[in-house]
Structure 1
Amino acid sequence: MGALRGALLLIALFLGGAVMAEHLRLAGDSWPPFTDERLANGGLAVDLVSTALRRGGHTTEYVEVPWARVLRGLQQGDYDVIVAAWYSAERTRYGLFSEPYLVNRIRFLRRAGMPIEFTGLDSLLPYSIAVVRGYSYDAAFDAAQQLSKVPVLEFAMGARMLAAGRVQLTLEDELVAQHHLNRDLQEIRNSVEFVATPLSENGLHILVRRSHPLHQQLVHDFNRGMAAMRADGSYARIYRRHGLEPGD
């Protein structure tokens, strides 16, 4: 029956007929504010992705598991869509990427009013920088042994050290930092600010398993739904529902 259903769906696509709606199993790991079962609608990314897919007539459910299991589950057919994935050529073997629907910007933070700018790695030489131990920010930055990096356990610790003047810079994904500054770091929110130029930018995509008979249609539906959301303002409204502001 599964093979017959897949064949009928492909015929419908070929003929340009209506394709029946799919119930899709979305997966991600805990990465607030993008994906987190404790947040409204599963977090910003889950909210955006499920809304875009609903516009294509599909229903969704979200499962949160460790990242290794997310990737393995997509390959084994346990899940249909990874909600938030960076592009890699290796992943294209088993999944089809959408267009990027948001951008992860790694940005430095400084104490408010400090005249520190990022114009390349050499511009960081005079400063001490709080970095989360074991975290990968950018290949060149991670490998730059000439920089004064101060290991910390988490972003919140580095941000508090920055506000207290114990380091001159720290860095984090822009939306992750906003999330923390709006919640557990409210007491220092006005004491720190972003440096204008980001260290790096990386597009965030959904990844649909290639073994799904409608994987190309699902990506098309998602891209079309996301474009419509940007045009009608619902994309920005979802951001603000999560206490965040959409980037450029």
Structure 2
Amino acid sequence: MRRLLLILWLLAVSDGLRAEQTVLHLVADRWPPFNDQRLPGDGLMVQLSREALQRAGYSIRYTELPWARALRGVRLGEYDILVGAWHSLERESFGLFSDAVLDNRLRLLQRQGETVRFSSLDDLRPYRIAVVRGYSYGAAFDEHPALQRVAVRDFPTGLRMLLAGRVDLAVEDEWVARLHLAGELREQAANLAFVPGTLSEKPLFLLASRKHPQHRQIIAAFNQALAAMRVDGSYATLLQRHGLSEPVPLPEDH
């Protein structure tokens, strides 16, 4: 029995040492408050991911790139993990998703004074909607044959096009939208309004490249560490440190 316990301990130590010697290259676009090298911890999603992976024994390198380039790099195995990915079947073909890390509430924005209302995606058919190139907003939205999706480089670009009348709506996570409207776009915030209602609620994941030979072990170790952070309170502490809390239902804007 002692010999068996010693062997098991040595195997565990060996696995831990291998993890400690592995540097994982994380990549994402600038998407405050989730990913942003200008923010503490590089943003909430990056800091949660880094903390959990470091607990699992990995070293972390983080790079910010345009989303389409980051997504392509993970698909090709140039980067190990995509931070803050929404789920799609197409992404499953080249990556392994973690457990959900955070939740998104997707909202539509319109110009102040407009009266767009919707109860289904079909109601949005008359409107040109700015979407970030490479983002997945869920299969129903992405694949709806009648929606007028206008691809843009990033959300601020979409808002500027909205203000200029080049599109009718923009879609974004509510936390992200409010941060932009309180920051770099605060002078234009009075000219914009949320469309009443929620487009969808979607969890955010890590996506490990299937090109990495240890992608299954990495995601399993991350999931275990993330669950431990929820239990010991460090997950909630990081949310509070970034000025956020778990999403709760909002009244509709009028």
After superposition, give the CA deviation of every residue in 1:198-247 in whole Å (9 maximum; x if it has no partner): 22344322233456564433222211222233344433443444454442
Shift in Å, 1:25: 1.7
Q: Distance in 2 between matches of 1:142 and 1:213?
A: 31
Question: Aligned AA for 2:76?
Answer: R
Q: Distance in 2 between matches of 1:228 and 1:48?
A: 12
Shift in Å, 1:184: 0.9
Aligned counterpart in structure 2 of residue 17 of structure 1, from 6, 12, 19: 12
Match in the other structure for 1:109: 109
Match runs of 1:48-87 below 5 Å: 48-65=48-65, 66-67=69-70, 68-74=72-78, 79-87=79-87
- Contact 1:138/1:199, CA 8 A, preserved across alignment: no
Match runs of 1:93-108 below 5 Å: 95-108=95-108
Match runs of 1:83-162 below 5 Å: 83-89=83-89, 91-92=91-92, 95-110=95-110, 117-124=117-124, 131-132=130-131, 137=137, 141=141, 155-156=155-156, 159=159
Match in the other structure for 2:3: none
Q: Check 1:186–1:230 CA distance in 2 against 1; reply closer, same or farther (3 A cut).
A: farther
Provide the TM-score with structure 2 as the length reference: 0.65
Match in the other structure for 2:206: 206
Q: Distance in 2 between matches of 1:154 and 1:80?
A: 23
Q: Check 1:233–1:129 CA distance in 2 against 1; reply closer, same or farther (3 A cut).
A: farther
Give the SS at the match of 2:30: coil
Structure 2 unpaired stretches of 5+ = 1-6, 249-254
Shift in Å, 1:62: 1.4
Give the SS at the match of 1:17: helix
Match in the other structure for 1:47: 47
Q: Distance in 1 between matches of 2:146 and 2:209?
A: 42
Match in the other structure for 1:5: none
Structure 1 unpaired stretches of 5+ = 1-10
Q: Check 1:12–1:96 CA distance in 2 against 1; reply closer, same or farther (3 A cut).
A: farther
Shift in Å, 1:132: 4.8
Give the SS at the match of 2:53: helix
Q: Distance in 2 between matches of 1:197 and 1:53?
A: 36
Q: Check 1:104–1:209 CA distance in 2 against 1; reply closer, same or farther (3 A cut).
A: same
Give the SS at the match of 2:87: coil
Question: Aligned AA for 2:28?
Answer: D
| Residue-pair matches, total | 232
Match runs of 1:197-236 below 5 Å: 197-210=197-210, 212=212, 214-236=214-236
Q: Distance in 1 between matches of 2:231 and 2:196?
A: 27
- Contact 2:133/2:154, CA 8 A, preserved across alignment: no
Fraction of identical pairs, as percent: 43
Q: Check 1:73–1:37 CA distance in 2 against 1; reply closer, same or farther (3 A cut).
A: farther
Q: Check 1:88–1:160 CA distance in 2 against 1; reply closer, same or farther (3 A cut).
A: closer
Shift in Å, 1:124: 4.1
